[in-house]
A and B are shown apart, each in its own frame.
Chain A
Amino acid sequence: MNQYLLSLHSTPDSTCATQSPMPPEEMQKFMQRIETLESDMKESGAWMFSGRLTEPESATVVRITDGDTMTTDGPFAESKEHLAGFYILQAADLDAALEWARKVTTCVGKPIEVRPFWGLQS
């Protein structure tokens, strides 16, 4: 089995702040679809971990400059796209991981990046 990171990225127009909120009914349906998908992942043994992140403004960056610890506000990079959520899955090969990615992106309506973890053989 190989491990893959499936990451979802938010763009400025898709963050909670600017997007008009989903009506409660739709939100509920959306959450149901996600839950069904995630329980499929768990039943098939693919799911290892997943999470949804808060908005990028809540991030804090820690770095060492000349031996001093510097703690600064804000996301790591001044980028328009930020990591919004992710899945860590195990799959037999890339095609199996891409199939899960297809299901996630169908569900959330946003593109998804699939990236393998370093393995023992790589």
Chain B
Amino acid sequence: MSAEQVGRIFREGSGRAIAVLIRIFGDIDVAEDALQEAFALALKTWPEGGLPPNPQAWLVTTARNGAIDRLRRESLGRAILSDLVREQAAATETLDLSLGPMDDDRLRLIFTCCHPALSSEAQVALTLRLLCGLATHDVARAFLVEETTMAQRLVRAKRKIKSAHIPYRVPEARELPSRLPPVLAVAYLVYNAGASRKPGASADLEDLGAEGIRLARLLVALLPREPEVAGLLALMLLNESRRAARFAGDGSIVLLRNQERAQWDRSLIDEGQTILRACLQRDEPGPYQIQAAIQAVHADAATFGQTDWQQIVALYDELLPMTRSPVVAMNRAIAVGEVEGPQAALDLIENLDLDRYYLFHSTRADFLRRLARGAEASLAYLKAAELAPTDAERRFLRSRSEERLH
């Protein structure tokens, strides 16, 4: 067994292990140090001695016993042990590693990481670090910040959890309406951080797309009665089905109307649509379910021309009052444009407060182009190019701007 294999097994199990250890010790740092030591021991012993019968249970047990030994030697540690009155329980508890208690721990951990008292940046960082088991430098790379910046962000967030006593518990049903949205937002952010990249462009970041889907699957398994959780998973799967078709060879974006629909992944579409149908039957609509439904309508159309735009406009009509987001209003206008034409669509977006959003300017440019207002379209494409986040998109938008000049 190689060190890489040990690392992979470790990463797969680390979210569950850390969640159990945080419950036992009531302290994230103690839990992280303990798991790190157990991992070091695994690297030393597994390659020669072979894999223990239940590697995840081995990691948790080894980490727990090591931490108890260490805490007994330190005065602050003794305070933690005696204060928690958990020493006895911790030392004698038979760890149940079947589904159930372990997953309650992971659910607790998600809600702690995504507590609304933490900034959304801290929420994402903690979730990736603790629940997904990513190393700090990988979390930093995913969000394009220096490793030291990310390390500081994590330290500050953990300090706040400790000093403000952010609880380690699953919110009650009546609290879920306010506590679930940040959890879903973090999972979607993790997914989008990976999914906005061309397949094969960067393995690390693509992993984040997969990580986001894994998180959503975990949430569906842990909160099976929340239709918005299922809606989020369906939305991710339907988006994911188009990822290969969304990028041209040079990495630039291929618009929906020009995508090669044969490249869409039918198995992801089927899975997404099945999940979506099941949760829509509960008749508790929410923004993720409706966004998934919009993607499902696109998935149903064999060609761009066959898209049921009336249905999409109707879904946006439902979505807009839920989110009150100008981006949603813009996307609704695009759908309206397909039904009523570019002038109606342009009228709908002129007053939106989206001047810093590059897709607003490219959308506006597109309407102007279709209205044969070439010079204005060219300026709008240029404005979009200035604000675009990637080189490929800047190139694409500049070329469109130049086309309109001639």
Asked if chains A and B come from one complex, the reply is yes
With A94-B117, A121-B83 given, is the CB distance from A116 to B167 under 8 Å? Answer: no
Contacts of B117 in A (CB 8 A): 94, 98
CA distance A119 to B165 in the complex (A): 10
- B356 at interface (Cβ–Cβ under 8 A)? no
In this complex, how many residues of chain A approach chain B with their Cβ under 8 Å: the count is: 14
Contacts of B79 in A (CB 8 A): 120-121
Tell me the minimal C-beta distance from A48 to chain B in angstroms.
16
With A94-B117, A98-B117 given, is the CB distance from A116 to B164 under 8 Å? Answer: yes
CA distance A119 to B117 in the complex (A): 19
- B193 at interface (Cβ–Cβ under 8 A)? no
Tell me the minimal C-beta distance from B180 to chain A in angstroms.
15
- The 8 Å CB contact of A93, one of B80, B83, B167, is B167
Tell me the minimal C-beta distance from A5 to chain B in angstroms.
11
Q: State which residues 160-192 of B face A: CB under 8 Å.
A: 162-167, 169
A95 contacts B83, C-beta separation under 8 Å: no
Nearest opposing residue in chain A for B83, CB measure:
A121
A94 contacts B167, C-beta separation under 8 Å: yes
- A20 at interface (Cβ–Cβ under 8 A)? no
Tell me the minimal C-beta distance from A76 to chain B in angstroms.
24
B166 contacts A94, C-beta separation under 8 Å: yes
Contacts of B165 in A (CB 8 A): 2, 92-94, 116, 119
In this complex, how many residues of chain B approach chain A with their Cβ under 8 Å: the count is: 12
Nearest opposing residue in chain A for B80, CB measure:
A121
Contacts of A121 in B (CB 8 A): 79-80, 83, 162
Nearest opposing residue in chain A for B26, CB measure:
A121
With A98-B117, A121-B79, A121-B83 given, is the CB distance from A93 to B163 under 8 Å? Answer: no
Contacts of A36 in B (CB 8 A): none
Q: State which residues 169-225 of B face A: CB under 8 Å.
A: 169
Contacts of B169 in A (CB 8 A): 95
- A44 at interface (Cβ–Cβ under 8 A)? no
- A122 at interface (Cβ–Cβ under 8 A)? yes
A122 contacts B167, C-beta separation under 8 Å: no
CA distance A120 to B163 in the complex (A): 10
Contacts of B166 in A (CB 8 A): 93-95
Nearest opposing residue in chain B for A122, CB measure:
B163
CA distance A98 to B179 in the complex (A): 13
Contacts of B167 in A (CB 8 A): 92-95
Nearest opposing residue in chain A for B115, CB measure:
A94
Contacts of B162 in A (CB 8 A): 121-122
Nearest opposing residue in chain B for A102, CB measure:
B178
Tell me the minimal C-beta distance from B78 to chain A in angstroms.
12
CA distance A114 to B162 in the complex (A): 15
Contacts of A93 in B (CB 8 A): 165-167
Q: State which residues 63-122 of A face B: CB under 8 Å.
A: 92-95, 98, 114-116, 118-122
Contact bitstring B370-385, A, C-beta under 8 A = 1, else 0:
0000000000000000
Contacts of A95 in B (CB 8 A): 166-167, 169
Contacts of A116 in B (CB 8 A): 163-165
Tell me the minimal C-beta distance from B262 to chain A in angstroms.
51
CA distance A118 to B163 in the complex (A): 7
Nearest opposing residue in chain B for A98, CB measure:
B117
Contact bitstring B112-125, A, C-beta under 8 A = 1, else 0:
00010100000000
Residue of B117, B163, B166, B167 with most partner-chain A CB within 10 A:
B163
Tell me the minimal C-beta distance from B96 to chain A in angstroms.
25
CA distance A92 to B166 in the complex (A): 10
Nearest opposing residue in chain B for A96, CB measure:
B167
Contacts of B80 in A (CB 8 A): 121
Contact bitstring A14-37, B, C-beta under 8 A = 1, else 0:
000000000000000000000000
Nearest opposing residue in chain A for B175, CB measure:
A95
CA distance A94 to B118 in the complex (A): 12
CA distance A119 to B115 in the complex (A): 21
Q: A93-B166, A121-B83 are in contact. List 19 more A-B contacts (CB 8 A).
A: A2-B165, A93-B167, A94-B164, A94-B165, A94-B166, A94-B167, A95-B166, A95-B167, A98-B117, A114-B164, A115-B164, A116-B163, A116-B165, A119-B163, A119-B165, A121-B79, A121-B80, A121-B162, A122-B163
A-B contact pairs, 19 of them (CB 8 A): A2-B165, A92-B165, A93-B165, A93-B166, A93-B167, A94-B115, A94-B164, A94-B165, A94-B166, A95-B167, A95-B169, A98-B117, A116-B163, A116-B164, A118-B163, A119-B163, A120-B79, A121-B162, A122-B163
**A-B pairs with the 7 shortest C-beta distances?**
A93-B167, A93-B165, A116-B164, A122-B163, A94-B164, A2-B165, A94-B166
